[in-house]
Amino acid sequence: MTKSGRDSYKDELTSLASHNEQIVCIEADLGGKNHPFQQQHPDRFFNFGIAELAGIDMAAGLAEAGYVPFFSTFASFAALRASESIKLTMGYMGKNVKVVAAYGGVSGGWFGTTHHALEDIAVLQSFQNIRIACPYGERETRRVIQEAASSEEPYYIRLSRNDVFDSLLREEEASCREMIVEGEHRNGLSRLCLVSVGEQATELCQRIIQEDDSIAHAHLCYIDIQSLKSYTEQLTALSHRFLVVEEHRATGSTASYLALLLPKYEIYSHDCGEQWPIYGGTHTEVLTFLGFGYETLKQQIQDILGGTADDF
Amino acid sequence: MEQTIPVQSIDIPLLIERAKEARKLIIDMASAPTGCHIGGSLSVIDLLVGAYARYYGDPDTVIILSKGHAAAALYATLHVYGIIPDNPTDSYGEEGSLFTGHPNHKLPGIPFATGSLGHGIPYAAGWALAQKMKGTKGLGIVIGGDGELQEGLCWETAQIVQAQSITNFVYIVDCNGGQNDGYVEDISPIRNLRQRFEAFGFVVKEIDGHQLEDIVASIEPHPERPVAILARTIKGKGVAALEGNPESHYAKIPKKLAYRWKVGLS
């Protein structure tokens, strides 16, 4: 049975820690009871309680001493509440800390705006030198955790709540740094390339290209600035026109940075707009309220390409 | 591998000389075009000199100056101990110099860039936790300010230190009574400080933060509890014109005045 990103993280880290004694798991009272890491490696599991700034700074001290600390909490509390700790320890000083942030975007649904994070990528991207990953589904999440554990770079890994997805197919040894392309035209450029970031976005893009094979789809797992720069050559071989689909504000989004990297190309954004998500509902319902979803995406594509929505 | 230096073998008169030499460097940094945070640097310098006298050379112990605005004191200490060979007064604050106004982690002996108050305390606690996990005798030693205690992060850390039984942690507070805009007592008093730390499970020691013999003797871990050292200090200590004056928090002084202050160091 496929696991959610959050459960995949716990499971994979617990497994990795059996072979890597430097891995330390830190929670801020949001890891849940019966955490598998705590059960299997109790001497390397710490619930520091509701203290996100201290938790990340302490993780930096552990990293300096040679450990590989993974610190997990919700995205809003990590990227926003503890943003200065991340800026200083991980960005400026490059300490080997891995922040795993669940509840990315509005995956918290009815829990409300305090538990949403539509600004985290903008904040993290502005810090420089931090790897930012938004894995899609269980396999990709596990792979990202493996890559983070074996890297000396600081990581911010954005996960959702409990949604479950099958990751896109990737070659066995391929890094998640490599983009996955679907619907690539063998002859010439596609009239539009969708660029997906995150779980809901990737799901939407897959659905669109199944209905219109004239559109390509590039799935990005890593979206830090260095990774985005590495994609440009491959992206521009796909199309001259890109629509980035990302569960985030437009400001500081992947679309906004790609627009800076590719000034001669058309870059559009399907994002969560400008409203505050004040109503309850499921993850999908809150996204719909914010104008993010299948129907609005389909309409946006039609507006970009011209013609009617039924054309594709 | 060098080990922690026993208290009885520490040459206190030599430390007093080192502290005086460091004070001269601090005054010289105040006479740089940028000036420096001289008041808090002069209050904390004996604590730094004492901490390094005990633990410099112990690879398992880290000493963090969390009140990073006293960077001039840290640079001076690291220079008099030979950890930073370059004289900080030659380029302090200048273009291209690593001697920035708050501690620069690109310099030898500075693993963590402090200055945004509060962050050095959990960093040192994390280091201490790592040593506890490794089973070494290493310590996390942090020197903070009393004004800094207004930051919630200090108490977040004290809470975790207690909860995780991090007993190899020594938190030294430079109680100089001043902060940027005036006296701590006038802005946001930190009353019952001993009781506050005791409530978080710390063993509390109160010392004269300018008596080097007391300082080096007090920076010791407790076998069962973290240690808080409340060091009574004088802002601007050593320069009569500055002592106890919160206006001494930051100063930019002429070279001639720097000369007079160095000659007149008490």
* The pLDDT of residue A184: 74
Among A305, A297, A231, A284, residue whose Cα is nearest residue A105: A284
| Residue B192 belongs to some domain of the structure | yes
Tens of pLDDT along A7-44?
999 999 999 999 999 999 999 999 998 999 999 999 99
Is B148 strand, coil or helix?
A: helix
Tens of pLDDT along B182-193?
999 999 999 999
Contact at 8 Å (CB) between B215 and B205? no
ipTM associated with this complex: 0.94
Contact at 8 Å (CB) between B78 and B107? yes
| H/E element, B124 | helix B120-134
Is A166 strand, coil or helix?
A: coil
Supply the range of the domain harboring residue B201: 12-263
Cβ pairs A/B, distance under 8 A: 92
* The pLDDT of residue B247: 85
From the candidates B156, B166, B168, B169, which should be mutated to test the interface with A, based on the most A CB atoms within 10 A?
A: B156
The full DSSP string for B28-64 is HHHTSTT-B-HHHHHHHHHHHHHHHHHHTT-TT-EEE
Residue where the block lists tokens 């980035």:
A244
Contact at 8 Å (CB) between B25 and B75? yes
Chain A residues with CB within 8 Å of chain B CB: 24, 43-44, 46, 48-49, 51, 53-55, 57-67, 84-85, 88-89, 92-93
What is the value of pTM for the model shown?
A: 0.95
Residue B163: closest C-alpha in chain A: A48
Tens of pLDDT along B220-251?
999 999 999 999 999 999 999 999 888 888 99
Residue where the block lists tokens 């007993």:
B167
| Contact between chains at A58 and B112 (C-beta distance less than 8 A) | no
For residues A130 and B234, give the distance between their C-alpha atoms in angstroms, rounded to a whole number.
Answer: 41
For residues B100 and B36, give the distance between their C-alpha atoms in angstroms, rounded to a whole number.
Answer: 10
DSSP one-letter code for B84: S
Tens of pLDDT along A279-303?
999 999 999 999 999 999 999 999 9
Is the pLDDT assigned to residue B95 strictly greater than 80? yes
How large is the average pLDDT for residues B153-175? 98
Contact at 8 Å (CB) between A111 and A122? no
**How far away is chain B from the Cα of A13, in angstroms, using its nearest Cα?**
19
CATH number for the domain harbouring residue B236: 3.40.50.970
**How far away is chain A from the Cα of B115, in angstroms, using its nearest Cα?**
10
The total number of structural domains in chain B stands at: 1
For residues A114 and A91, give the distance between their C-alpha atoms in angstroms, rounded to a whole number.
Answer: 25
* The pLDDT of residue A188: 81
Tens of pLDDT along A42-64?
999 999 999 999 999 999 999 99
Tens of pLDDT along B51-63?
999 999 999 999 9
| Residue B1 belongs to some domain of the structure | no
Contact at 8 Å (CB) between A293 and A287? yes
Q: How far is the CA of A225 from the CAs of A93, A98, A261, A270, B25, in angstroms?
A: 17, 17, 10, 19, 42
For residues A58 and A48, give the distance between their C-alpha atoms in angstroms, rounded to a whole number.
Answer: 10
Q: Which residues of B touch A29 (CB under 8 A)?
A: none
Q: Dihedrals φ, ψ of B95, to 5°?
A: -55, 130
A183 — pLDDT class (breaks 50, 70, 90): confident
Going by C-beta distance under 8 Å and a sequence separation of 6 or more, which residues neighbour residue A312? A208, A211, A212, A214, A215, A298, A301, A302, A305
The dihedral built from the CA positions of residue A42, A49, B140 and B105, taken in this order, carries a sign that is positive
A308 — pLDDT class (breaks 50, 70, 90): low
| Contact between chains at A64 and B127 (C-beta distance less than 8 A) | yes
* The pLDDT of residue B3: 58
Among A19, A17, A75, residue whose Cα is nearest residue A46: A17
Report the first-to-last Cα separation within chain B, whole angstroms: 37
For residues A252 and A242, give the distance between their C-alpha atoms in angstroms, rounded to a whole number.
Answer: 17
Chain B residues with CB within 8 Å of chain A CB: 62, 105, 111-113, 116, 118-119, 121-131, 133-134, 140, 153, 156-157, 159-160, 163-164
Q: What percent of chain A has pLDDT over 90?
A: 93
For residues B186 and B182, give the distance between their C-alpha atoms in angstroms, rounded to a whole number.
Answer: 7
A187 — pLDDT class (breaks 50, 70, 90): low
Among B49, B109, B104, B41, residue whose Cα is nearest residue B72: B41
| Residue B6 belongs to some domain of the structure | no
Q: Which residues of B76-92 are buried (b: 16+ CB within 10 A; e: fewer)?
A: bbbbbbebbeeebbeeb
Provide the mean pLDDT of chain A: 95
Tens of pLDDT along A120-152?
999 999 999 999 999 999 999 999 999 999 999
DSSP one-letter code for A239: B
* The pLDDT of residue B266: 78
Q: What are the boundaries of each domain within chain A?
A: 5-158, 180-311
| Contact between chains at B163 and A54 (C-beta distance less than 8 A) | no
| Residue B4 belongs to some domain of the structure | no
Question: Which one of A262-266, B5-9, B241-245 scores highest in mean pLDDT?
Answer: A262-266
Residue where the block lists tokens 């010289």:
B28
Going by C-beta distance under 8 Å and a sequence separation of 6 or more, which residues neighbour residue A153? A94, A96, A129, A130, A131
CATH fold for domain A180-311: Rossmann fold (3.40.50)
Number of Cβ within 10 Å of residue B250's Cβ equals: 17
**What single letter denotes the amino acid at residue B120?**
G
For residues B126 and B132, give the distance between their C-alpha atoms in angstroms, rounded to a whole number.
Answer: 10
Residue where the block lists tokens 């919700």:
A74
How large is the average pLDDT for residues A263-279? 97
**How far away is chain B from the Cα of A89, in angstroms, using its nearest Cα?**
8
* The pLDDT of residue B244: 85
Smallest Cβ–Cβ distance between A54 and the set B62, B131, B156 belongs to: B156
The dihedral built from the CA positions of residue A269, A275, A276 and A278, taken in this order, carries a sign that is negative
Contact at 8 Å (CB) between B32 and B93? yes
* The pLDDT of residue A186: 62
Query: Could you give the count of Cα atoms lying within 13 Å of B211 in the half-sphere of its Cβ?
Result: 10
| Contact between chains at A61 and B127 (C-beta distance less than 8 A) | yes
Residue B127: closest C-alpha in chain A: A61
CATH fold for domain A5-158: Rossmann fold (3.40.50)
Question: What does the block give as tokens for B208?
Answer: 């004269």
**How far away is chain A from the Cα of B127, in angstroms, using its nearest Cα?**
4
**How far away is chain B from the Cα of A93, in angstroms, using its nearest Cα?**
7
Number of Cβ within 10 Å of residue B5's Cβ equals: 17
| Residue B2 belongs to some domain of the structure | no
Question: What does the block give as tokens for A21?
Answer: 């004694």
Is the pLDDT assigned to residue A203 strictly greater than 70? yes
Pairing mode, strands A241-246 and A215-220: unpaired
| Residue B7 belongs to some domain of the structure | no
Give residue A163's Cα distance to chain centre: 13
Residue where the block lists tokens 């190309």:
A265
